[in-house]
Amino acid sequence: MLHLSNEIVEVHSKFKRNFASRFLRQLIVGIIKNIMRKKVDFLVIGSGIAGLCFALKAANFGKVCMVTKAKIDDTSTKYAQGGIAAVMYSPDTYEKHIQDTMVAGDELSDRHIVEITIRESTERVLELVEWGVDFDKTQSGKFALAKEGGHSEFRVLHHKDITGFEIEEKLILAAQRNPNIEILDNHLAVEIITQHHLGIEVNRHMSGITCYGAYIYNPKTKEVDTILSKITMMATGGIGTVYGNTTNPTVATGDGIAMVYRAKGAVRGMEFVQFHPTSLYNPSERPSFLITEAMRGAGAILKNKNGEEFMRKYDSRGSLAPRDIVARAIDNEMKTKGIDHVYLDTTLIKKEEMFQHFPNIYAKCLSIGIDPTKEMIPVVPAAHYSCGGIQVDEWGRSTITNLYASGECSSTGLHGANRLASNSLLEALVFSHRACLNAVEAIKNIDFCDQVPDWNTEGTVLNEEMVLITQSMKEVQTIMASYVGIVRSNLRLQRAFDRLEILYRETEDLYKKSILIPEICELRNVINVGYLIIRNAMERKESRGLHYSLDYPEHRDVNPTREDKL
Ligand code: FAD
Ligand code: SIN
């Protein structure tokens, strides 16, 4: 008996010793990991114009870590052609640009935000020039200004037809030279960290949800790292990949919007997807090559194959009507005539202007056997820009504390139901600047949250079936293009919703079981974004701006009710 109880005592104390040493080991590992964890003042997610501008400014006030999921210049910014709208000289005025923006937004733009953006446009553009961006000038040394759809004046600053390339290149150079900015390329942000990760229940209606940083996929270790930050800037760009036919690069999978939505932050206006009227009709090419609207500003006209102008039937402004009207008119021409594309007659542009202003488009067309000085270019609408996104205020603050958003992933209220051409680079500049002004004050009262646990990999195995992910991505794109395109209806939206729900369930199941890889994160995000577009489209019982429904072809009166707003 005594022998047995001695044994029990011994087992018990051994257990206690083991438990204590295991506990101690875990504690020490935890402390070391915590010390080793990356902690930064500012975490910037995305390296387009929005992320780079914020990083360059924030670096004057603290350490910045910029993560970007592909190569640093793999952004929509790099592809921007037309340019950046700003009020520079008379006869243009802030009032005219404000009015054009309001008209394009189809009564849903937030006037206060429009005023801020336009009135700050000149200063922000000149700052780009200080960073080395070289906008084209006239012989008299003034900035050469172009005109695009919906603009009543010439006000688009540009660098030939590769404005975005010029901006991205100069901003990257400045960021790479800055000792306060660390750039981690090929690092994908998986989720933002909030109280949810501390085991606290978080819901969409509560206030005080706080961002402590983000879980970031590390391509070297193939593990998910924790980066703690005081301030996080979401600058992940657009959503074009949700549709197969898009002008956006493949990185545009709406990650920031999906992450914020999952973290229970507010996202709005997702039904307003802008289709650019004129992408080059070249079915095998992904992403679609853009034929800038500035060509229409320079005299090019949309025509059918018989060389007949058709836009005047739809709008007195003809080929330079706002994009929603032009894209819908082309869609109607294609559907009623059973054709795959229409044409842009660029032979009307003076040769000298073609070579000086549009050398990139000219070269591209020649490379596929079309001489745009002699022949019309075949064009088709393609998904181009998301007017909706993460809801932010006039300082770029999202509804999640310490989380800001800027650029295409955000919804400031500037674009309303439809974006005026060349207003998006401008919006990113203005709101990254304002977010920085606000964040450098806020940061004084923010501490790191040390209780954040590591990414949980329990129970996951390597997914050997990549085909499940690639096929699901194609299915999402087919659903969105077929039922949630330029023209929508109740039946189409319901069908899209039902189909997407199946993909959602299958993908969540796969995600929970699989060791994390970027492709499954992107698929999840694309499904989330598709869901938000469909849901917002179903909620809008009218046609307005970019959202056109066969069941509700009219505008509703705009009342200051929640539903009528974005
Ligand atoms: P982007 O420039 O797209 O950058 C997003 C960044 O986020 C990328 O670096 C991406 O890799 C990164 N990222 C995304 N997800 C993650 C993640 N999970 N983790 C880490 N990083 C992530 N607008 C105009 O005003 N004028 C124009 O002339 C014009 N022309 C255009 C032409 C084309 C072909 C296209 C596609 C767009 C055009 N636009 C134009 C729109 C404009 O270019 C974009 O809206 C703008 O550049 C978006 O900038 P951004 O910084 O928000 O996003
Ligand atoms: C274009 O050059 O047509 C694109 C401009 C924009 O998307 O703002």
Give the mean model confidence (pLDDT) for residues 47-73: 98
> 149 in ligand 1 pocket by Cβ < 6 Å?
no
How far is C-alpha 235 from the chain's CA centre? Answer: 7
Question: Tokens at residue 134, please?
Answer: 């070289």
CA dihedral 432, 434, 437, 442 (to 10 degrees): -90
Calculate mean pLDDT across residues 103-110: 95
- Cα(558)–Cα(478) distance, rounded to whole angstroms? 33
Which of 117, 155, 293 should be mutated for ligand 2, with most atoms under 8 A from CB?
Answer: 293
- Residues 426/408, Cβ–Cβ less than 8 Å: no
Q: Is 211 in the pocket of ligand 1 (CB under 6 A)?
A: no
**Confidence category of residue 12, pLDDT binned at 50, 70, 90:** low
Helix H segments across 298-390? 323-337, 351-357, 359-367
Res 561 pLDDT > 60: no
Beta carbon of 59 within 6 Å of any ligand 1 atom: no
Question: CA of 192: how far to CAs of 49, 197, 244, 403, 455, in Å?
Answer: 21, 9, 27, 9, 11
Q: Quick check: 19 pLDDT over 70? A: no
Mean pLDDT of 22-28: 71
Least confident of 99-108, 339-348, 362-371, 463-472: 463-472
Q: Is the CB of 188 under 6 A from ligand 1?
A: yes
Angstrom distance (rounded) from CA 493 to CA 367? 39
Mean pLDDT throughout 488-501?
98
Q: Which ligand sits closest to the CA of 185?
A: 1
29 pLDDT higher than 70: no
Higher pLDDT, 17 or 169: 169
Residue nearest to atom 40 of ligand 1 (CA): 80
- What pLDDT shows up at residue 186? 98
Residue with the nearest Cα to atom 4 of ligand 1?
A: 48
pLDDT of 558 higher than 80: no
331 lines ligand 2 (CB under 6 A): no
Residue 406 Cβ inside 6 Å of ligand 2? The answer reads no
Ligand 2 pocket test, pick from 292, 323, 344 with the greatest ligand atom count within 8 Å of Cβ, gives 292
Distance of alpha carbon 135 from alpha carbon 83, whole angstroms:
9
What pLDDT, on the 0 to 100 scale, is given for residue 15?
61
Q: Taking each helix axis as running N to C, give the angle between helix 518-539 and helix 466-483, from 0 to 180 degrees, rounded to the nearest 10.
A: 20
Whether the pLDDT of residue 296 is over 80: the answer is yes
Q: Is the pLDDT of residue 8 over 90?
A: no
* Residue 552 CA to ligand 2 centre (angstroms): 29
Ligand 2: does its nearest atom lie under 6 Å from the Cβ of 422? yes
- What pLDDT digit, counting tens, does each position of 329-360 carry? 999 999 999 999 999 999 999 999 999 999 99
The yes-or-no verdict on residue 61 having pLDDT over 70 is: yes
- pLDDT reported for residue 566: 65
User: What pLDDT sits at residue 146?
Assistant: 96
In this model, does residue 36 exceed pLDDT 80? no
CA gap 67, 351 in Å, rounded: 43
Which residue matches tokens 């047995």? 4
Please provide the average confidence, as pLDDT, over all residues in the chain: 94
Name the residue at shortest CA distance from atom 42 of ligand 1: 77
Query: Cα-atom radius of gyration of the chain, to the nearest Å?
Result: 26
**Catalytic residue of the set 124, 323, 328, 419:** 323
* Least confident span in 160-164, 202-206, 555-559: 555-559
pLDDT of residue 304: 95
If one compares 149 and 14, the residue with the highest pLDDT of the two is 149
Query: Which ligand is closest to the CA of 76, given by its number?
Result: 1
Mean predicted confidence (pLDDT) in 242-270: 97
Q: Which residue has the higher pLDDT, 17 or 228?
A: 228
pLDDT at 3 over 80: no
Confidence class for position 424, pLDDT limits 50, 70, 90: very high
Site to substitute for ligand 2 among 276, 291, 323, 418, most atoms within 8 A of C-beta: 276
Given pLDDT bands bounded at 50, 70 and 90, which one contains residue 476? Answer: very high
Contact (Cβ atoms closer than 8 angstroms) between residue 135 and residue 439 = no
User: Hey, is 155 helix, strand or coil?
Assistant: coil
323 tagged catalytic: yes
Ligand 2 pocket, 82 CB below 6 A? Answer: yes
Pick the residue whose CA is nearest to atom 12 on ligand 1.
46
pLDDT value for 93: 98
| 392-396 average pLDDT score | 98
Can you tell me the distance from the alpha carbon of 545 to that of 271, in angstroms, rounded to the nearest whole number?
Answer: 10
Ligand 2 atom nearest residue 81's Cα: 2
Peptide bond into 381 cis (omega under 30): no
- Indicate if ligand 1 lies below 6 Å from the C-beta of 101: no
Nearest to 526 by CA among 499, 492, 554, 500: 500
pLDDT of 434 reads 98
**Cα(410)–Cα(397) distance, integer angstroms:** 10
pLDDT at 562 over 50: no
